[in-house]
Amino acid sequence: MILAITLRYDFYENDKHFKERFYLSKCFKDIFEKLNILLLPVVSTTELKKLVKICDGLLVTGRAIDINPKYYNEETTNETNLSDTYNSEDELDFTLIKAFHKANKPILGICAGIQAINVCFGGSLYQNIENHSSKNKENVTMHTINIEPNSFLEKCYNTNQINVNSFHHQAIKKVANNFKITATSDDGIIEAIEYNNIVGVQWHPEKSYDMDFFKKYFDIYF
């Protein structure tokens, strides 16, 4: 199996010669190596048709640069983190999501990935929320989410509640048409959505090396 996965942009201020780089969390490498799944890293939409043809699905990863609020008809607030050096991640995510959806191939969105899926299909975001970020904290923020019956997550965990990590300061506001909310936190933040073979989760299952999540996902959708 071959899975397309988005690489993410970062700017390394202290590197005099190679400031701009793309990266992928080692967690993904470790997890998919165990699952015997080949990851095909994607940084552009070059040869898009060929990419979609050879890949069995798409994983839209988290990212440090927020989605530009213009895509959901809002002005940028002070809390929204946009880049001064690179602004192509929105176009990359939306183009990939549309192409894989058109080909009826499974799509998984993690953290900013769920947000990109939601905005791509017409939804909107809260540009800033409280108490859901682990940034600059010694310990990872954890909280309980409530899982809807008959959802992928219920099939995955066989329960209606689990604890998940938090590494985000934005979240879904208006849910895109046709998508079902399948998990929420106790404070009402949307933690998961589903539509046909598209799944988005707001936390990072790769960070906690949640093999059950990924194994079940591929068992069900591939």
Q: What number of other Cβ atoms are within 10 A of residue 199's Cβ?
A: 26
C-alpha R_g of the chain: 17
**From the candidates 55, 89, 101, 111, which is the catalytic residue?**
111
Is residue 47 flagged as an active site residue?
no
DSSP state of 176: P
Do 168 and 202 touch, CB atoms closer than 8 A? yes
Do 77 and 127 touch, CB atoms closer than 8 A? yes
Q: Residues of 123-154 as b/e, b for ≥16 C-beta within 10 angstroms?
A: bbbbbbbeebebeeeeeeeebebebbeebbbe
Is residue 204 flagged as an active site residue?
yes
Q: Which of 124, 88, 118 is nearest to 180 (CA)?
A: 118
Do 192 and 175 touch, CB atoms closer than 8 A? no
**Annotated catalytic sites, by residue?**
111, 204, 206
